[in-house]
Structure 1
């Protein structure tokens, strides 16, 4: 009965309700980061802005997130072709790269602290605080992506992800590519405006 209702909704809307919900989430995240980056530009123009070098790990993380998008695409294509061994391997590699990205973020924050760039408090400057917020909120969303990826991996281990059941891998792929694109935007934004 519930499955029939979902099918009914899909035909009425033209898109699966879960895909529609994911796109709403993505749009809200885009609006949030647009607000953050706009506030960054406005606050920088007001003065009292600490100039410091961005941690080099941000570039390394950019390469890692691009690689993870490639492995995620490999997982998606493997599911379409019912190559379940490659699907599982690609999902594990994607998760590993996602974790490596988060470790890189942590190391980037350690570099900032070592260079006396802090978040909040008496010793902080808005420039550092903005960098922590931008990278931290992205990191939070990457953690949610890793959780979604883990759920998809567990489903693939139970043979619930294949060419006739693509919804979960489609949603995971869309969200993961979005996180990669969002990071590229943030990295380029910081390089241009820092």
Structure 2
């Protein structure tokens, strides 16, 4: 339960900071000036699509928090045998960071009306995400061939479950990213394209955050941190 509470507090803090920047708590009837005074907003309010995506990401975050809580409880039993992490996971992490950076650059480019740069960044983000998925599959194969199949040990099962769930969310994001990339080559309103790219970037940054959390969990760093905290409190 402590893992879930800590995660929810972090999510609440990040969400509060983000929503404050999006002026969701503003009172437009008290504002002075034109809508143009708030670039990137609609009457000073955050688009509904961003609010919906924020709610969805909060639900996904809670799901992974529940997985993390189950992971900690299960690892306390005697039959738990931690598996060695393939070094390829660190390379995959770097690739996912590049994908997130590419989406960030796409947002910056479309805000400056640099459409060609935005297109290049979107394609780069998609290709690096595909490379990340391919790397994850290779890591799975390496573990299986090394004697760590899915059902051999509870630790193995959690590793495959967590990485598979994260990979499924990457695949879902690639579908949305593909549609957004198609919009970048189509004759769509610039505001619509900008919103689509911003939504993809939000989703990508969140998945990077989740993956880092998963990596910290399965590498054992989180367990070591909790052990140290328990020793300090006792």
TM-score class, shorter = 0.7 to 0.9
Task: Provide Cα deviations, 1:60-94, integer angstroms capped at 9, x if missing partner.
Answer: 11101111111111111110011111111110110
Secondary structure, aligned partner of 1:45: coil
List structure 1 runs of 4+ shifted beyond 3 angstroms.
161-165
CA contact (8 A) 1:64 1:100 kept: yes
Aligned length: 182
Post-superposition offset of 1:15: 2.9
Aligned match of 1:146: 174
Distance 2:103 2:42 in 1: 28
**Contact between 1:152 and 1:169, CA under 8 Å: does it hold in 2?**
yes
Does the alignment pair 1:64 with 2:131?
Answer: no
In the alignment, does 2:69 pair up with 1:38?
A: yes
Alignment TM-score, normalising by the size of structure 1: 0.87
User: Does 2:147 correspond to 1:116?
Assistant: yes
TM-score (norm 2): 0.73
Measured against aligned partners, the alpha-carbon deviations of 1:148-189 in whole angstroms (never above 9, x if no partner) come to 110110001114363675211111110011111111111122
Unpaired runs of at least 5, structure 2 = 1-40, 225-234
How big is the alpha-carbon RMSD for the aligned residues of Structure 1 and Structure 2? 2.1
Compared CA separation, residues 82 and 11, structure 1 to 2 (3 A): closer
| Rg comparison, structure with higher value | 2
5+ residue gaps in structure 1? 1-9
